[in-house]
Structure 1
Amino acid sequence: MSALEIREVRKDFGSTRVLKDVSLAIDSGEFLILVGPSGCGKSTLMNAIAGLEPVTGGEILIAGEDVTWRTPAERDIAMVFQSYALYPSMTVRQNIAFGLEMRKVPKAEREAAVERVADLLQISHLLERKPAQLSGGQRQRVAMGRALAREPKIYLFDEPLSNLDAKLRVEMRTEIKKLHQRLGTTIVYVTHDQIEAMTLADSIAVMRDGRILQLGTPDEVYNDPVDIFVAGFMGSPSMNFIAATLEGMAGDYRLRIATPGAEDLTLPWPASREQPELAEWAGQPVVLGLRPEHFSEEDERLGEQAEGTLFSAPVTVVEPTGADILLRLPLGEQEVTARVGPKCRVGAGEHLALRIDMGRAVLFDPHSEQRLA
């Protein structure tokens, strides 16, 4: 039985349909992340699951029970908000215990629950402080503690880290990951940060314009995107999209990339990656998708090089990040981003030889933007 099942849920605000027949199911203990750009409907879907927004149509089931028209209190969920939503006049202890008190949990059980989550979140030394005396990260731990003090069927996190600075976001991501591994709880988590999604999720639902475009593991949505939007949204820097023409026939397909002022670049398409549908695209324009890490620096000192097709181009921008270097350079009529090692010694304006790993490349239909191969 699924911990959460959403069946063709629709939500209208006036004449505007914000959720368009959304369906998904997650298992008990699964960590699902809803990700997408602002306005895609992910927070509306979260509010519908929580019962904060009545749906226009469809069904929502929690642990097999239809809760579509139940109030939030009747759904057995706990929610952590972006704004923390702590009571300023209460201590940390009182904030964590408040929900249990409202449910008339005996005092001894409340105190035991507070001590348990405070120890789990390493905030035992903060129990007698007020929210105004806490840092942003500490307040977020208290908000999480209030949810964890209960043992609901599902935990809902609505962009809980968006108010934190970059360093603290990374630290809190790690804490949430550890927390899920220890407790094995079912979590639905909303974020617009695709790095957050990749690092935390068991499964990711990529949303756009009120629809789920792809639901899969982080590896699936990153390496096997269903369309150009998913491919471009997941990954930082995002995937490069290069205009090309598919030539040849089965067993010998090639991609020709027009290069202004120079000989066109031809890239072989791996026979192992062929799809029967590619025959219909021979002689037709396609979009080649290459991630920055699909490029590798050619080193003349090495006897054996990485597999791939070699090309050379002048570097226009060099962006050191510490762990690696991002390069901007022309490929065909486009400028692409390549990720190389930190020891690469190249300056803007210099030519660099790179190999392209076509074994991990993807092809898209330039009109529908759907994946071809």
Structure 2
Amino acid sequence: MAALEINKVCKDFGSEQVLKDVSLAIDSGEFLILVGPSGCGKSTLMNAIAGLEPVTSGEICIAGEDVTWQTPAERDIAMVFQSYALYPSMTVRQNISFGLEMRKVPKAERDAAVERVADLLQMSHLLERKPSQLSGGQRQRVAMGRALAREPKVYLFDEPLSNLDAKLRVDMRTEIKKLHQRLGTTIVYVTHDQIEAMTLADCIAVMRDGRILQLGSPDEVYNDPVDLFVAGFMGSPSMNFLTATLEEDAGQYRLRVETPQEEPLWLPWPRERETPAMGEWLGQSVILGLRPEHFAEDDARLGEHAEGVAFTPQISVVEPTGADILLKLKLGEGEATARVGPKCRVMAGERLVLRVDMGRAVLFDPETERRLA
């Protein structure tokens, strides 16, 4: 039985349709992340699941029960908000136990629940403090603790880390991951941060304009995107998109990518990844998608055994990040980004021999933006 099932949900605000036939299902214990740009409908969908926003049509089921028209209190969910939503006059202990108190849970059970989540989130020493005496990360832990004090069917997280600074956001992301691994709870999590989505999720729903474009594992949405938008949205830096012409040579497909003031770059398409649709595109322009890590420094020691097609582009910008180096190079009609190791010593304006791994490249239709291969 699915922990959460959404069937053809639509939501209209006046004449504007914000959710358009959204359908998905997740099993008990799964961590689903709704990700997409601002205005894509992910927070509206979250509010519909929570019962904070009535749907125009469609059905929402939690643990096999139709909750479409139930109030939030009747749905057996717990929600963690972006703004923490703590009561300033209450201590941490009171904030965590307040929801249980409203549900008439006996005091002994409330106290046990508070101690349990305080120990779980390592904040037992904060129980007698008030929110004004806490840091942003500590307040977010209290908000999480308030949700965890109960044992609902589904936890809902609405951009819970967006108000935190970069380091604290990474730390809290790790805490949430550990928490999910320890408890095995069902979580639906909204974020606009695709790095957050990749690191936390069991399943990612990429949304755009009120629709789910792709639903799959982090590996699927990253390495097998269904269209140009998903490919460009997932990943940091984002995928490189190059205009190429599909041609055939000795029975094998290859792509011609124009390079500035030089011979074209010829990239053979792997035979095992050929599709019937590719034959219809011979002689036509397609969009070639290559991730920054699909480029690698050429290792002369490997010689003819080195994988990938070698070429020698001019490097326009060098961006060290510590763990690796991002290189901007002129390719096709614009620039591409390559990710190389931290020991690379190339300077802006110099040339560097790089190899292109076509085993993970993707092709898109420039008109419909759908995946071709």
Q: TM-score range by the shorter chain?
A: over 0.9
Q: What CA distance in whole angstroms lies between the structure 1 residues aligned with 2:249 and 2:203?
A: 37
SS at match of 2:111: helix
- CA deviations on 1:125-151 (whole Å, 9 max, x unpaired) are 000000000000000000000000000
Q: Distance in 1 between matches of 2:53 and 2:217?
A: 28
What residue is the counterpart of 1:258 in the other structure? 258
**Counterparts of 1:257 and 1:245, CA distance in 2:** 7
Are the aligned partners of 1:251 and 1:271 in contact in 2 as well (CA < 8 Å)?
A: no
Q: Name 2:87's counterpart in structure 1.
A: 87
* AA aligned opposite 1:40: C
SS in 1 for 2:11: strand
Deviates further, 272-281 or 93-102: 272-281
Q: 1:250: how far off?
A: 8.8
Gap runs ≥5 in structure 1: none
1:333 matches 2:362 = no
Kept in 2, the 8 Å contact 1:254–1:268? The answer is: yes
Contact between 1:298 and 1:305, CA under 8 Å: does it hold in 2? no
Seen in structure 2, the aligned counterparts of structure 1 residues 304 and 165 have a Cα distance that, compared at 3 Å, is farther
Q: Which runs of 4+ in 1 moved over 6 A?
A: none
Cα deviation digits, residues 264-312 of structure 1 (max 9, x gap): 1111001011011111111111000000000000133555664100111
Q: TM-score, normalised by structure 2?
A: 0.99
Q: Which residue type is aligned with residue 192 of structure 1? A: H
Residue 358 of structure 1: aligned partner: 358
Q: Secondary structure at the match of 1:316?
A: strand
Q: Within 2, Cα distance between the matches of 1:288 and 1:342?
A: 27
Match of 1:199 in 2: 199
Check the 8 A contact 1:10/1:19 in 2, yes or no: yes
Shift of 1:259: 2.6
Q: Which residue of 1 aligns with 2:46?
A: 46
Q: Say if 2:299 and 2:306, in contact at 8 Å, map to a contact too.
A: no
CA distance in 2, matches of 1:291, 1:125: 46
SS of 2:353's partner is strand
Match of 2:343 in 1: 343
The 1:119–1:26 alpha-carbon spacing in structure 2 relative to 1, beyond 3 Å, is same
- In 2, the alpha carbon distance for the partners of 1:20 and 1:30 equals 24
Label 1:251 to 1:168 Cα distance change in 2 as closer, same or farther (>3 A): farther
Alignment of 1:1-80 (within 5 A): 1-80=1-80
Distance 2:130 2:92 in 1: 6
1:159 maps to which residue? 159
Contact preservation (8 Å) 1:296, 1:306: no
> Which residue number corresponds to residue 248 of structure 1?
248
**Where in structure 2 are the equivalents of 1:184-195 lying within 5 Å?**
184-195=184-195
Q: Distance in 1 between matches of 2:274 and 2:301?
A: 34
Q: Say which SS state the counterpart of residue 351 (structure 1) adopts.
A: coil
Q: CA deviation at 1:331?
A: 1.2
Code of the aligned partner of 1:200: L
User: In the superposition, relative to structure 1, how do residues 247 and 51 fare at CA in structure 2: closer, same or farther (>3 Å)?
Assistant: same
Distance in structure 2 (CA, Å) of the matches to 1:149 and 1:88: 19
Aligned to 2:121: 121
Give the aligned residue type for 2:248.
G
Residue 181 to residue 250, structure 1, CA distance change in 2 (3 Å) = farther
CA contact (8 A) 1:245 1:255 kept: yes
* 1:304-319 correspondence to structure 2 within 5 Å: 306-319=306-319
Contact 1:289/1:362, CA 8 A, preserved across alignment: yes
Contact 1:37 1:208 in 2 (8 A): yes
- Which residues of structure 2 form unaligned runs of 5+? none
2:96 is equivalent to residue 96 of structure 1: yes
- Which residue of structure 2 aligns with residue 226 of structure 1? 226
The aligned counterpart of 2:146 is 146
Q: Which residue of 2 aligns with 1:177?
A: 177
What TM-score does the superposition give when structure 1 sets the normalisation length? 0.99
The superposition leaves residues 13-69 of structure 1 with CA deviations (integer Å, 9 ceiling, x where unpaired) of 110000000000000000000000000000000000000000001000001111000
Q: What is the RMSD computed on CA atoms of the aligned residues?
A: 1.0
Quick one: distance in 2 between partners of 1:91 and 1:249? 73
Identity in percent: 84
